[in-house]
Amino acid sequence: MPDITQEALQSIHQMMVDFRRDLHQHPELGFEEHRTAAKVSEALRSYGIEVHEGIGGTGVVGVLRNGGGNRTIMLRADMDALPITETSTHGYTSKHSGKMHACGHDGHTTMLLGAAKYLAENPLFDGIVVFLFQPNEEHGLGAKAMIKDGLISQFQPDEVFGIHNLPGAPLGEFSSREGTICASESLFEFEIFGQGGHASMPQVGVDAILVGSELVQALQTIVARKLAPATGAVVSVTEFITDGQRNVLPGHAILKGDTRSFTSQDRNEIERLMRQIANGIATAHDVRIDVRFNTEFEETVNALDQVKAAMHAASGISDQVLPNRARMSFSEDFGRLSAEVPGCFILMGNGTEYPNNQPLHASDYDFNDDALTLGAAFWARLVSEQLPQKDS
């Protein structure tokens, strides 16, 4: 088995730094990653890798074959940025107002490109490697669009892996877990149709604010009293919109919010209870309440064999490996892929010092360039271990 280490990729470190910082200066939102996709495609072709463009809109897939094996491993990176105005002070800040790479997707893309270059020059594997560069992860639409465009049926991966950086975790730390690692995200909306009226005569109408306030309170009982303790579910009302004025009681209101859960059973139960609560309150006040519940991200679930493989590869380049980390409450579009193919989602430490420990989506967050060769080495080692050469 070839001994692939972080040091083996030091020769391309500066290339990766330059590429990552260029992406950081030119962030593109979901399904708008035209420049990013073009640069990724150009880089892959320069490495001699077969390129497929326009999958799922702006998605890019690179295919590298070696030996006679047909086993296929898919490695995924996300490319999109966020609608955030950057407040960083380094020398490569976003050139596009209101857009920035505040989640590290610039680093994820670059790490995978570094691994692609290394493996193209050092084909220490027997089989097929599919390098997946996905658009629109932030809104949970990119993986779905690529799958709809035939991603799985065309490239037929046997397994799929993805990495996300984790601010605040030490540089060099790799962690994952079997089963659910990231929560689902469902967006909900309650639309209340009451009867507006004069603020001095509330008895004449039905105040939508009062009805909405009861809803807000009642929704909190779902996690507190209806689900088993320690489920990790979250229900948050994030918007309360009415047509009221200074002396006008509103007859119409909209409540919007977000819920997270770690199992489809809890997710379905939350939706059922929301509709039950809305029906009860609507009946009590003789109003109509329409409920909309849309799951943007499903739970991300890791398969045991792929977790073992990822953690074994990580242990070859780091002594900071956590194979049974705690679940994360954020959501990930990788869950769409691991629902189709056995997979593993891995978290990699971004460092504990500013700005690499700033929260994801913070306006002064930055990916840690020291993690680039570490991540690329992990990818290369994982490929060599999962697709071993026959003489190794």
> How many domains does the structure of the chain reveal?
2
Q: What's the whole-model pTM score?
A: 0.93
Give domain status of residue 392, yes or no: no
Task: Convert the pLDDT of each residue in 90-113 to its tens digit.
Answer: 999 999 999 999 999 999 999 999
Is the domain of 16 the same as that of 148? Answer: yes
pLDDT bin (cut points 50, 70, 90) of residue 373 is very high
Is the domain of 47 the same as that of 100? Answer: yes
Is the domain of 189 the same as that of 176? Answer: no
Is the domain of 92 the same as that of 19? Answer: yes
| Coil, helix or strand at residue 255 | strand
CATH for 372? 3.40.630.10
Task: Convert the pLDDT of each residue in 153-204 to its tens digit.
Answer: 999 999 999 999 999 999 999 999 999 999 999 999 999 999 988 888 888 8
Mean pLDDT of the chain: 96
Q: How far apart, in whole angstroms, are the C-alpha atoms of residue 93 and residue 357?
A: 17
Q: Which long-range contacts (CB under 8 A, 24 or more apart) does 235-243 make?
A: 235/259, 235/270, 240/212, 240/216, 242/208, 242/209, 242/212, 243/196, 243/208
Is the domain of 153 the same as that of 62? Answer: yes
pLDDT at 360: 97
* Closest C-alpha to 132, from 181, 32, 31, 64: 64
Is the domain of 33 the same as that of 172? Answer: yes
Is the domain of 208 the same as that of 285? Answer: yes
Is the domain of 245 the same as that of 145? Answer: no
pLDDT at 205: 82
Question: Among 297, 318, 339, which residue terminates a domain?
Answer: 297
Residue 392 in this model has a pLDDT that exceeds 70: no
Is the domain of 222 the same as that of 158? Answer: no
E strand or H helix that includes residue 167: none
Is the domain of 190 the same as that of 274? Answer: yes
pLDDT at 70: 95
What is the torsional sign of CA 373, 50, 132, 134? Answer: positive
Is the domain of 43 the same as that of 173? Answer: yes
Task: Convert the pLDDT of each residue in 113-167 to its tens digit.
Answer: 999 999 999 999 999 999 999 999 999 999 999 999 999 999 999 999 999 999 9
Please compute the mean of the pLDDT values over residues 310-332 and round it to a whole number: 96
Give domain status of residue 374, yes or no: yes
pLDDT at 265: 96
Q: How far apart, in whole angstroms, are the C-alpha atoms of residue 137 and residue 259?
A: 18
Q: How far apart, in whole angstroms, are the C-alpha atoms of residue 162 and residue 271?
A: 29
| Segments in the chain forming alpha helices (H) | 13-25, 34-46, 105-121, 142-148, 151-155, 208-221, 264-285, 304-315, 334-338, 372-386
Query: What are the DSSP calls for 131-154, one per residue?
Result: EEEES-TTTT-HHHHHHHTTHHHH
Give domain status of residue 196, yes or no: yes
* Closest C-alpha to 190, from 296, 298, 288: 288
pLDDT at 197: 81
Residues marked as catalytic: 80, 137
**Which token pair is 169?**
């975790």
Give domain status of residue 391, yes or no: no
Give domain status of residue 332, yes or no: yes
CATH for 239? 3.30.70.360
Please compute the mean of the pLDDT values over residues 196-225 and round it to a whole number: 92
Is the domain of 239 the same as that of 310? Answer: no
Domain extent for 251: 184-297
Question: Among 264, 297, 330, which residue terminates a domain?
Answer: 297
Give domain status of residue 1, yes or no: no
